[in-house]
Structure 1
Amino acid sequence: MNNQVICEPFHPQSMQRGAALIEALGEAAYPTGAPWSEPVIEENMQAPTSVYWLVRVAGQPVGFLSGTKVIDQLELTNLGIVGSWQGHGLGKQLLTTWLKRYEAGTVVTLEVRVHNEAALGLYESLDFHKLMRRPDYYDRPVEDAWIMQKKIE
């Protein structure tokens, strides 16, 4: 079997089918289920500042990231890898590939659950640093977030 990994921008032909795929990947990636619903994802995909990427293994989508880009500011809004593929470095590969697309000096910000040790380790390995703790940022369950940032070199 071909296990070639491809990280690429996601431009679905149908926004509705694209949103359904992202929601399904989120359901399979996050312990508390997809962070956004299909209608919210579909609306977000149509915003001119939104970016979506997929990671595929052997042609099958197994993860995604979403973000926004405004001038020289990037925000990573979601990064999810299907549970059975977590721990294989796909999140790091996807995020690294995405970040390489942007110019030096671009500032990247994200929020992450304070108890998500795997994600914190990933972001810190890519030189993100903690700016501040945001109380009760998440629900399902309620939890604080670390606001993290880096400047692309």
Structure 2
Amino acid sequence: MSGETFRFGDVRGPVNAGSGNLNIHGHQQIAGRDLRTGPATDPATALRADLDTLRRALDELRLTPAEHRTAETELTALEHEAAQPSPDPGRMGRHLQAFTTTLEHAGALAGAGLAVIQAITAIATWLGPAGHQALSLLGL
């Protein structure tokens, strides 16, 4: 397969590549398995979903009462900032970093589960440069 070139024209996300099928919104199947496209997810909706994932996971993480309060405070501040008409990425990045640092120092990040790691990663990526510190705590 090396040397082959593929052109797809104007591809818009989300696009998930799997093992071959290409399913385009409108239920057209092109070939193979597991490649789907559909309407793009609104970034604000995706951000709220990621914050909800962190909120639900917080009570299940192994944290001392003090660590839980710190993580809760940072997550609440992050949620509050995200709800603003024009959220400040720098502030959000600092709260996400503090939240992630609390989990890391507590040793809870390792056992937090994939959903928590993916939510932190998605939020940090959405924040761009303001989220880099949180990504570095995840080893990304």
TM-score computed with the length of structure 1 as normaliser: 0.29
Which of these two proteins has the greater Rg computed from alpha carbons?
Answer: 2
Higher relative strand content: 1
Higher relative helix content: 2
TM-score computed with the length of structure 2 as normaliser: 0.31
